[in-house]
Structure 1
Amino acid sequence: MIDLFSGCGGMTQGFVQEGFKPVLAVEFDQAAASTYAANFGEEHMYFGDILELPDAYIPEADIVIGGPPCQGFSNLGSKDVNDPRNKLWKEYIRVVRKARPQVFVLENVERFSKSTEFQMLLDEADGGMLAEYELRWRVLLAADYGVAQRRPRTILIGSRIGAIEPPAPTHSKDGLGGLIPWRTVRDRIDGLPAQPDLTELPDRVTECFGHQIAGAFTSEEIHIGRNPRPLSLQRYDHVPPGGGRFNLPTALQPNCWKNKAAGTTDVMGRMRWDAPSLTIRTEFFKPEKGQYLHPQWDPIDPSNRVNRVITHHEAARLQDFPDSFLWCGSKIQIARQIGNAVPVGLAAAVARQMRTAFKAPHEEVRATWNIRG
């Protein structure tokens, strides 16, 4: 497989778990590329701008996967149709045409499916650059595939070996109809130390792509806390599971919230133990950005409350990364990698769907795998 805009490798991790072998990955961000290299190898990573990726570097492969940058489509982004990042799906198509995979998988935010760019992409299958591929797409909810997170993603599958539908859900909220109940925050983070021992990453560097970068760090080493102000701790203490800024007494509300009586209901929110989390974004370490307070809260005993945001390790688990995964970069860079990743469990569900549809690999692809070890 080839992974474009690979980030730290969330999508690759899901596919590798299902038996796929990466032969090329492309990533522009040094910290994310270094994390990918620490887990999957540096030799097949093209660290650089995909616009500068030579055609000669692109091997044949059975599948191309990846998610072009989504900031231009995101509800939290500028929603600028002219954002140059919105055009990078055309580079994705360039690689597909060169690699000639049997199947490709393109993922993006939910809003992408309603964009002009998405319609242009669909048009390429109607006599355009993707004419030999049959396209199928759907917005999938990560919780429906065993991830303890309510995160919607647009998944588009292109196939030249017969139409392949996105995978059917394996989980549901109530576990009805023969499905498994959603996995919960408790399933993923219960048992981790309630009070992290560290607030900083270890002082360690590694070399990737000829440059030094912080890391690589284990999952245990990114279980790091913060040092909130006393005012912040007072605010956290008033928020029950599922609650948010509206649970704060007026005296503890900043003016921007006092003057905004509706909307942004999840900010300063506390997770629920027995439900999936909401979307883990890149700034999960800031409680004013979403529902990121630790779920432990006792309504009677204040001493039995955990008044902090989730740690990087807890966020990574909610994104379904295995504890064996290694991380490179600063605290902010690692948080960005975690929040931008495709949940591993969702990627694995898509990979299983692809595996059932594949024909035997081409002989030349087998040769490429042997050359690359």
Structure 2
Amino acid sequence: MNEAQGRPGSVEYLGVTPRSQRLTLLDLFAGAGGLSLGLTWAGFRSLAAVEVDPAAAATYDANFGGHILRDSRGRPLPMEQVDFTSFRGRVDLLSGGPPCQGFSLLGTRLEDDPRNRLWREFIRAVDEVQPRAFLMENVPPILKTQEGAFTIEHARELGYSVVAGVLSAEQFGVPQKRKRAFFLGVRDGAVSLPRPLPGTKFMTVRRAFAGLPLQPTNEDLHMGRTPTGTSLERYATVPEGGNRFDLMAKRPDITPRCWLEKATGSTDVFGRLHWDQPALTIRTEFYKPEKGRYLHPSEHRPITHREAARLQTFPDDFHFEGSKIEVARQIGNAVPPLLAYVIGLHLESALERRSVPTVQPTLFELVPG
């Protein structure tokens, strides 16, 4: 297999060789476009996208050419207002990730959560567009819900071969342990999930951060915060790979009372990343160490927006629109483009009637020397 080439933060460094865009793509619940970006690398051309969040929609338009569907006033159209029949016969791949909070293990998983119903809009779009293939992404718990079962059942009634399962991003070259559920459907022919090569070596935080200054420059998303003196003292107690329990043991005098009163619980809270391992899941508030394992491996600070984008495999030339909080939300909610690229290559092979590869070349040698 080929070694990664190119400067850190580039598409080439990720091991990606973009293909000619011969197939068409319609992306729903598109967010900033992480899924679209990887799929365009794999040979799909974006026709249009649906994203209701203004900042994420602006990011998508900035990177893909103004494809967000909008109303007469220029406002992004919500899914419920889109008539998809005009796209029938024009779309090779319909993709999207309906909001997942209603299914997430981090939430209350209420059966009547209105966000759970948006997956019906995705199925409606499949029915109206009749694409050659579809790709739906969500959190793993959806596979055990009635909604997940109905998605498979209804897609099969529409004439699709369907497969669903969980993929772990780190097994496909992403420097992050991120599990997501994927539903793949193909109208004509068989379909399967991509499989990693047994014994895959993982991309690491060290390789992802290569070339970035250890201290934030406050330019190009490499933005730092201004911690209090107490916060700096707390950071200093946590070793590489450590967490809040190191703080509790070493400095109970500066440990928040709520942690002192909770002797058990998550080992990721106030955690520090390992240099030579993948990160854990990057969520939308990665700039808050109290929310997860977001401390830099060696510096006494949380990771920057640029570092989080690197862990999500966004190349440095991808442009984000919005405030710091809005950009962080876009980064944390995205499908890692490199994972989308792997799935896109898999689907492109199925649609072009080529043999479906077991493993994608160039993605598995991205390890420290």
TM-score, normalised on structure 2?
A: 0.84
Distance 1:43 1:265 in 2: 42
Partner letter of residue 331 of structure 2? I
Distance 2:200 2:325 in 1: 35
Distance 1:151 1:318 in 2: 10
* Match in the other structure for 1:247: 246
Contact 1:29 1:48 in 2 (8 A): no
SS in 2 for 1:23: strand
Number of equivalenced pairs: 320
Partner letter of residue 140 of structure 2? E
Q: Give the superposition deviation at 1:190.
A: 2.8
Question: Which stretch shows the higher mean deviation, 189-198 or 143-152?
Answer: 189-198
* Match in the other structure for 1:30: 54
Q: Give the superposition deviation at 1:44.
A: 5.0
Task: Indicate whether 1:335 and 2:365 are aligned.
Answer: no
- Map 1:83-162 onto structure 2 (within 5 A): 83-125=113-155, 127=157, 130=158, 132-162=159-189
Percent of aligned pairs with the same amino acid? 47
Contact 1:105 1:158 in 2 (8 A): yes
Structure 2 unaligned regions, length at least 5? 1-24, 71-75, 354-369
- Map 1:306-325 onto structure 2 (within 5 A): 306-325=299-318
* Match in the other structure for 1:366: none
Partner letter of residue 49 of structure 1? P
Contact 1:8 1:35 in 2 (8 A): yes
* Match in the other structure for 2:82: 53
SS in 2 for 1:327: coil
* Match in the other structure for 2:202: 182
Distance 1:234 1:190 in 2: 27
SS in 1 for 2:220: helix
Distance 1:169 1:10 in 2: 20
* Match in the other structure for 2:64: 40
- The Cα offsets for residues 233-257 of structure 1, whole Å up to 9 and x where unpaired, read as 1110011111100001222211110
SS in 2 for 1:328: coil
Distance 1:338 1:125 in 2: 30
Task: Indicate whether 1:191 and 2:220 are aligned.
Answer: no
SS in 1 for 2:167: strand
Partner letter of residue 86 of structure 1? N
Question: Which stretch shows the higher mean deviation, 66-75 or 116-125?
Answer: 116-125
SS in 2 for 1:264: coil
* Match in the other structure for 2:19: none
* Match in the other structure for 2:265: 263
Structure 1 unaligned regions, length at least 5? 171-176, 199-219, 297-305, 361-373
Q: Give the superposition deviation at 1:77.
A: 2.0
SS in 2 for 1:6: coil
Distance 2:87 2:288 in 1: 40
SS in 2 for 1:190: coil
Distance 1:125 1:99 in 2: 13
Contact 1:33 1:45 in 2 (8 A): no
TM-score, normalised on structure 1?
A: 0.83
From the superposition, tell whether residues 260 and 57 of structure 1 become closer, same or farther in structure 2 (CA, over 3 Å). Answer: farther
Distance 1:70 1:55 in 2: 22
Distance 1:291 1:36 in 2: 28
Q: Give the superposition deviation at 1:192.
A: 0.7
